[in-house]
Amino acid sequence: MSVRTVSQLQKGEKAIIRSFTDRVMSLKLLEMGCVPGCEVRLDAVAPLGDPICINVGGCYSLSLRLNEASTIEIE
């Protein structure tokens, strides 16, 4: 089975960040507090299915596009 990413989360589902697939995107994600080992949860999906809002470490809500979310691998 291939590795799942944040873009495949179901609404309300929680997961732990494992790694990133895009080097440039990972920098921005790290700065926004998405650190490997951190728990994320899919909170909301925008009306047209994209972007999505994830809760990062219980701290705050981050909105990102599906193609950005698909660079975050989860376990």
Partner 1 sequence: MKQENIKIALVGNPNAGKSTLFNALTGLRQKTGNFPGVTVEKKSGTFRLAGSNGSADRDVTVVDLPGTYSVYPKSADEGVVMDILANPKHPDHPAVVVVVVDASNLQRNLLLFTEISDLGIPTILALNMLDVAASMKLTVNAVQLAMQLNVPVVKINARTSEGIPGLQQAIRQVVEKTEKPAQKYFYVPKGNEPALIEEVRALHALDNDYVALQYVCQHDNFSFLAQPVRAKLDSLIEKYAFDETGFLADETIARYKTIKPIVEKSVKSEGATEQPLWTRKLDKILLHPLWGYVTFALILMVIFQAIFAWASYPMDWLDENTASFISWVKEVLPKGVLNDLITDGVLAGIGGVIIFIPQIAILFGLVSILEESGYMARVMVIMDKVMRRFGLNGRSVVPLISGVACAVPAIMTTRSISSRHERLLTILVTPIMSCSARLPIYSILIALIIPSTKVLGIFNMQGLVLFGLYFLGLGGALASAWILSLFIKRTEPGYFMLEMPTYKVPRWGHVGFMMYDSVKSFVLEAGKVILAISIILWVLSSYGPGDHMEVAEQQAVRAMSQAPEEEVAAAVASARLESSYAGNFGRFIEPVIRPLGYDWKIGIALLASFAAREVFVGTMATIYSISGDSEDVLTVKERLMQEKNDLGGVMYTPAVCYSLLIFYVFAMMCMSTIAVVYRETHGWKWPLIQLGYLMVLAYVSAFAVYQLMS
Residue ranges in contact with partner 1 by CB under 8 A: 23-33, 35-36, 43-51, 53, 55-65, 67-68
Task: Give the CA dihedral 61, 62, 64, 70, nearest 10 degrees.
Answer: -90
- In Å, how far from its chain's centre is CA 47? 18
Question: Cβ of residue 53: shortest distance to partner 1, in angstroms?
Answer: 6
Question: CA nearest 55: which of 33, 24, 30, 31?
Answer: 33
Question: Cβ of residue 44: shortest distance to partner 1, in angstroms?
Answer: 5
Give the nearer residue to partner 1 in terms of CB position, either 1 or 34: 34
Question: Cβ of residue 19: shortest distance to partner 1, in angstroms?
Answer: 11
